[in-house]
Amino acid sequence: MVTDVKELIEARSEPQRCEAALLSKVLVKSYGCQMNVYDATRMTDLLSREGYAETKIEEDADLVILNTCHIREKAAEKIYSELGKLAIAKRALNAQGRDMKIVVAGCVAQAEGEEVLKRQRAVDIVVGPQSYHRLPELLRQARDGARLADTDFAVEDKFRTLPAPNRAQIRARGVSAFVTVQEGCDKFCSFCVVPYTRGAEASRPVAEIIAETMRLVDAGVREITLIGQNVNAYLGPDGDGREASLAQLLDRLARIEGLARLRYTTSHPVDMAQELIDAHGANPKLMPYVHLPVQSGSDRILKAMNRKHGADAYLSIVERLRKARSDIALSSDFIVGFPGESDADFEATMALARAVGFASSFSFKYSPRPGTPAADRDDQIDETVKSERLAALQVLLDEQRQAYNAATVGREFDVLFEKAGRHEGQIGGKSPYMQAVHVEGQMELIGREARVKIIAAGSNSLGGRLMSEEAKA
Ligand code: SAM
Ligand code: SF4
């Protein structure tokens, strides 16, 4: 096994192999979580080596990949309606003597496998999140007329097979990048499909992550978000026969010169080690923002969800995070209308949200997923009740987000500028607390951090004034 960082970078620095001229075009549409966004970029890079240029225009595409999400029923159903439209487009192209291969990747592919091929004849390939590195071979077979489903949990390490992006590809994607460090889930929350679609928890080796990060930073990336289904369960081989925790990995990455900011998501409360909490006070590159899904504030529902912690344990983590870093911003995921959820259980969720005061949050109606224990319960909650509870929770969470944004007016902090703003002369970036910030400023600041004073707050973004035209060194 290659564990030395230099060796890894060199191993990945070979010139990109290109078997065909850049004649074919691929459109990758990604749905759902950040893991899918990351996988989509890796698929694009893999296919670029095979001679596919990226396109955003469906009519131009010779290959369309839907990188799907199975987390809620609506997300999965959306894929079939999208496939219906693609089937019509494919028939129209066929009538003109052209072809369009259609691939279904991601969690719907993993969960439904060959069913997708049966349900939609226009689909050529179904490929799961653990086998998409085999796409070139699958495409070769599809070009010979085969229709295939590969949803193996491959024995070979997909990350070792996938080619690294080149500098131009990295630069085109901006100054903030995701790096997958952990995949899969062993938690088996009773509502969730992830352990079935993404497999068991596995962590990438430290050296591999450092090499990937160095390559990104070398091409101009300034902010790295480490991602994983349960990123704080990270425990990766460090090359010395030991295993590094997420806090230790963050410490190693913080030493990379040129890297300004580190983030991680998504965390599970039971894996929120004190060492990681302390890192928020000790690691200056680690941003003061944590996404920590709680799902419910009721101990009874948390138990039924198999979350393995109660409301008090969650509040204790929040208290310790604020002790480590008093300005830390917190965000969360909530599910309302889990089977058996009473008015009192829902009120406990509202109380927990009031007690914490979140900077931002995502909230969903419980969606029964086939094959998960909660879907079989006979105390499902009426859709109207779910909608009422979701509306009430979202009013509270919106108020909290607006109050949080309003409280930043008058403060000064560094903003990492990422892109041109909506108006001429404006540039946009991110605060340490994950808020969008716009200022009047020069395009040269993009890719750099500069000090900003916040002068206005909206519900989704902040307006600021540059304290100096100079970027931070
Ligand atoms: N691993 C993370 C955790 O434990 O919090 C979450 C990952 S999951 C992909 C993202 C979010 O989707 C969850 O936090 C949960 O709120 C939501 N979710 C998952 N299954 C759901 C379901 N069956 N119905 C509604 N929301 C669901
Ligand atoms: Fe799903 Fe629970 Fe695993 Fe998160 S921890 S991915 S919610 S099973």
- For the residues 368-373, what does the mean pLDDT come to? 95
How far apart (Å, rounded) are the C-alpha atoms in residues 306 and 203?
A: 23
The 10s digit of each residue's pLDDT in 431-465 is: 999 999 999 999 999 999 999 999 999 989 999 99
- pLDDT for residue 98: 93
**Distances, alpha carbon 225 to alpha carbons 16, 186, 265, 290, in Å:** 26, 22, 7, 11
By the 8 A CB rule, do 402 and 459 touch?
Answer: yes
Indicate whether residue 195 lines ligand 2 (CB < 6 A).
Answer: yes
DSSP structure class, residue 358: -
Indicate whether residue 188 lines ligand 2 (CB < 6 A).
Answer: yes
Ligand 1 pocket residues where CB is under 6 Å = 33, 71-72, 191-192, 194, 229-230, 266, 268, 293, 295, 333, 335, 364, 366-367, 369
| CA of residue 200 to ligand 1 center, whole Å | 16
Least confident among 166-175, 308-317, 374-383, 397-406:
166-175
State which ligand 1 atom lies nearest to the alpha carbon of 230.
1
State which ligand 2 atom lies nearest to the alpha carbon of 307.
2
Six-digit token pair at 136? 């070139």
Indicate whether residue 192 lines ligand 2 (CB < 6 A).
Answer: yes
| pLDDT value at 102 more than 60 | yes
- pLDDT for residue 439: 97
Q: Which ligand is nearest to the CA of 337?
A: 1
Q: Tell whether omega for the bond before 266 is within 30 degrees of 0, i.e. cis.
A: yes
Strand ranges (E), 349-402: 360-365
Which residue among 69, 185, 191 is best mutated to probe the pocket of ligand 2, counting the most ligand atoms within 8 A of its Cβ? 185
| pLDDT value at 131 more than 50 | yes
- pLDDT for residue 473: 59
Task: Please tell me the pTM assigned to this model.
Answer: 0.92
Least confident among 2-16, 48-62, 117-131, 230-244:
2-16
Indicate whether residue 450 lines ligand 2 (CB < 6 A).
Answer: no
State which ligand 1 atom lies nearest to the alpha carbon of 33.
9
The 10s digit of each residue's pLDDT in 344-369 is: 999 999 999 999 999 999 999 999 99
State which ligand 2 atom lies nearest to the alpha carbon of 186.
3
| pLDDT value at 401 more than 70 | yes
The 10s digit of each residue's pLDDT in 11-69 is: 443 434 444 445 799 999 999 999 999 999 999 999 999 999 999 999 999 999 999 99
| CA of residue 284 to ligand 1 center, whole Å | 30
Q: Specify the higher pLDDT residue, 367 or 7.
A: 367
**How sure is the predictor about 325, in pLDDT bands with cuts at 50, 70 and 90?**
very high
- DSSP H/E element including 40: helix 34-49
3-state SS, one letter per residue, for 232-295: HHCEEECCCCCEEEHHHHHHHHHCCCCCCEEEEECCCHHHCCHHHHHHHHHCCCECCEEECCCE
The 10s digit of each residue's pLDDT in 164-179 is: 999 999 999 999 999 9
| CA of residue 268 to ligand 2 center, whole Å | 8
- pLDDT for residue 240: 86
Q: Which sign does the torsion angle of CA 383, 314, 194, 165 carry?
A: positive
**How sure is the predictor about 10, in pLDDT bands with cuts at 50, 70 and 90?**
very low
Indicate whether residue 294 lines ligand 2 (CB < 6 A).
Answer: no
| CA of residue 130 to ligand 2 center, whole Å | 17
Residue nearest (by alpha carbon) to ligand 2 atom 5:
187
Residue nearest (by alpha carbon) to ligand 2 atom 1:
192
| pLDDT value at 117 more than 60 | yes
The pairs formed by 425-432 with CB atoms below 8 angstroms and a separation of 24 or more are 430/176, 430/223, 431/462, 432/261, 432/287, 432/288, 432/289
3-state secondary structure of 413: strand
| CA of residue 305 to ligand 2 center, whole Å | 10
Q: Which ligand is nearest to the CA of 294?
A: 1
| CA of residue 295 to ligand 1 center, whole Å | 8
- For the residues 396-410, what does the mean pLDDT come to? 97
State which ligand 2 atom lies nearest to the alpha carbon of 188.
8
